[in-house]
Amino acid sequence: MKVLIFVKDSQTAIETSRKIEEFLKGKGISTEVFVNLRGNRCRLNLKDKDLLLVIGGDGTFLAGARLVAKHRIPILGINEGRFGFLTEVEKENAFEVLELLLEDKLSIQKRMMVCAYIKRGGKQHFLGDYLNDVVVSKSTIARMLELDAYAGKDFMMRVYGDGIIISTPTGSTAYALSAGGPIVYPLSENLLFVPICPHTLSNRPLVLPSGFEIRIVNLSPDNMAFLTLDGQKGMALKKGEEIIIKKSKHYCLMYPNPKRGFFEILKEKLRWG
């Protein structure tokens, strides 16, 4: 078995990774560790890996998911961040969960991803696959955006407001939730359309089938709108440019925490009664 380990660049995460690496090597398992993934992507060899361990927060997990999805490498997330919706395993339970994984006693979940494109200068460019969300929002200027939204060939609505979030079910507990969107069970396959602070109060969030292709057309002046992908990549948009979002052919394969179900995580993270 060959294990790739992505580690958040923090002292506690690095210490945890060293203990886990020692544990795995004691089992005869080959490991390859990368701290601060951003500067090391050119060195990655993903073709022969059996598992990705993410030791960090949800941001580290999202970066890892984008890299390994097309290689069908399953991910186990160990929480060294704040919320831990994706890095579900607390470090205190990491070795127990790893033992279950090595004994083939854990099941893999398939989480839907979306792929995004930008139509710019008459050409359509692929932007990548994303696990959480694709967001068109305001840049630094505090003025309303004007955006047209389409589902397939059908015009949905014109949004005057701070922007639009297109989220996966996994991303429904992220930015979309803060903007008033619904929580969707993460193994569902849907697209969430969530206007951000719409000026028209009847512009409500929508849950759409995953087969829809959503188009967002920027009608705002150049550089007023900004595209953000999984909260980590982005670019300014010009007037008339289009963002196209649809279900990806790739999935994020992940091992959930066998000790806690989805509703237990919601109770803990969102402080439900």
* Known binding positions for NAD(+): 58-59, 132-133, 143, 162, 173-178, 232
227 near 235, Cβ under 8 Å?
A: yes
**Is 204 strand, coil or helix?**
coil
- At 58, list the tokens: 């949800």
Catalytic residue among 50, 58, 154, 230: 58
Known binding residues: 58-59, 132-133, 143, 162, 173-178, 232
Phi and psi dihedrals of 221, rounded to 5? -60, 160
222 is an active site residue:
no
Q: What is the dihedral of CA 229, 235, 236, 241, to 10 degrees?
A: -70
- At 27, list the tokens: 């089992």
> Rounded distance, CA 39 to CA 52, Å?
18
CA atoms within 13 A on the CB side of 185: 5
Count of C-beta atoms within a 10 Å radius of residue 225 = 26
> Rounded distance, CA 224 to CA 77, Å?
36
> Rounded distance, CA 206 to CA 178, Å?
15
Q: Which residues contact 67 (CB under 8 A, 6 or more apart)?
A: 37, 41, 44, 46
- One-letter amino acid identity for 122? G
177 near 269, Cβ under 8 Å?
A: no
Catalytic residues: 58
